[in-house]
Amino acid sequence: MHRTSLSNILILFILILGSVIAGPEDWRIALCISEDPQHQMNVSWRTQRQIDTPLVQVTPNLPQVNFDKQAVDITAQTEVVVRSDGSLVYAYSAKMNGLNPSTAYAYRVGSKDEWSEWFVFETANNTETSFRFLYLGDPQNGLLTHVPRAIRAGYKEAPDAAFLTMAGDLVSVPGIDKQWEDLFHAGSWIFGTIPLVPVMGNHAYFIDGKWLDEHSTYWQPHFTLPKNGLATLPETNYYFQYQGMLFVVLNGNEQLDEQAIWLDEVLSQSEAGWFIVSMHQPLYSTAKGREGTKRRDAFLSVFDNHEVDLILQGHDHSFGRTYPLRNGKQVKGRQKGTVYINSVSGSKQYLLEPAIDGVFEVTGSEQQFYHVIDVQPSKLKLSSFTVDGELKDQIIIKPSRNR
């Protein structure tokens, strides 16, 4: 073989090897919501070769090319993760705090030797001004085929989204590291740009072909989330307030009664104008043969008593948006009800067959969806789109008068 061709092949091999072994391609950078999004954002990433002094740099996002001169160094914490094949990877987490409200910041992760690109995010405002956010149902399957277009369509619709919540089953088999790699490939730089609000699904408990009582150890290394929920459910049960809205994430898999008591306290103490809850498993099923009453028994009375405005769910691999409900029935007249939505963003689809008649106002199946929620002081607008950008459903929700 010609010497030039050989050296070209060698260079190509080194480049490919470099991108597989390490480098920002599989760093899985996740910007994550914090308990104080006016002043703090969190970030996680991971590498295959250990970084001795992992750092995050953060600085106001100024137009000048030397914007990075005043960047502040934050030392990240390292967690060693043992993969199912016994190999080690290194996960890092850091909290960017002391930030100013309603301000754009640039940040990057890495070390003095190797950095990611600069990502830009904006902190929450300190007043109850309007904003919007993105919601996706289960990604889970088709992570490299179907999920990317759902995430990108959502981003195209709402590039200014304050955060992106995904209602559980982020991957199908969480012990397989490749599935997480695929998820982060699907989210790409969008996951580093829009703060994530991940919700834990039942598949987080599907380990080595069995359903276990404890969730995958791959959850915490990939995200840095508030730890203000039950101490026994760190980073899977949490809440934050964002410009007049209280957003609560429940872990629908375990300790339901304990979380119901906790939720009642959190909602009782909140002065937010809007209450939104996300939990993976729906209270009202859209799919054939999946009616379960556990979550209804635990949470329905709390949702009703506090007039929670909206519940974002997944699990049934289909789409359904209920009428405003109270105790499972459509509300009458000017009575306040709770709107529940089930959705799916991945390729796995279940046969549509709502378990209870008269609950869903609109349903859909065999399609992927994304949703934009506009939060304003006087109204909340839930817009549901199919992945091609067509508006499938829209509902305006009025605030509770008892709050």
Rule CB under 5 A: which residues touch Fe ion?
A: 138, 140, 169, 201-202, 315
Q: Which of residues 140 and 376 has its CB atom nearest to Fe ion in the complex?
A: 140
Q: Which of residues 213 and 357 has its CB atom nearest to Fe ion in the complex?
A: 213
Min dist. Cβ of residue 185 to Fe ion (A): 19
Q: Which residue is nearest to Fe ion (CB)?
A: 169
Min dist. Cβ of residue 355 to Fe ion (A): 15
Find tokens 């091609």 and name the residue. 388
Pairing verdict, β 164-166 and 196-198: parallel
Q: Which of residues 81 and 173 has its CB atom nearest to Fe ion in the complex?
A: 173
Buried b (16+ CB within 10 A) or exposed e, 57-78: bbbebeeeeeeeeebeebebeb
Helices 294-305, 256-269: crossing angle, 10 deg rounding: 10
Min dist. Cβ of residue 335 to Fe ion (A): 32
Q: Which of residues 141 and 259 has its CB atom nearest to Fe ion in the complex?
A: 141
- In 3D space, the residue among 292, 283, 223 whose CA is nearest the CA of residue 250 turns out to be 283
Pairing verdict, β 119-122 and 104-110: antiparallel
**Rounded Cα distance, 384 and 396, in Å:** 12
Min dist. Cβ of residue 369 to Fe ion (A): 14
Q: Which of residues 306 and 315 has its CB atom nearest to Fe ion in the complex?
A: 315
Phi, psi angle pair for 242, to nearest 5°: -135, 105
**Rounded Cα distance, 274 and 398, in Å:** 10
Q: Taking a C-beta distance cutoff of 8 angstroms, is the pair 59, 68 a contact?
A: yes
> Helices (H) and strands (E) in the chain — how many of each?
6, 25
Min dist. Cβ of residue 186 to Fe ion (A): 15
Q: Which of residues 93 and 343 has its CB atom nearest to Fe ion in the complex?
A: 343
Min dist. Cβ of residue 201 to Fe ion (A): 4
Q: Taking a C-beta distance cutoff of 8 angstroms, is the pair 45, 51 a contact?
A: no
Q: Which residues contact 368 (CB under 8 A, 6 or more apart)?
A: 146, 149, 150, 344, 345, 346, 347, 386, 387
Q: Which of residues 202 and 270 has its CB atom nearest to Fe ion in the complex?
A: 202
Min dist. Cβ of residue 298 to Fe ion (A): 17
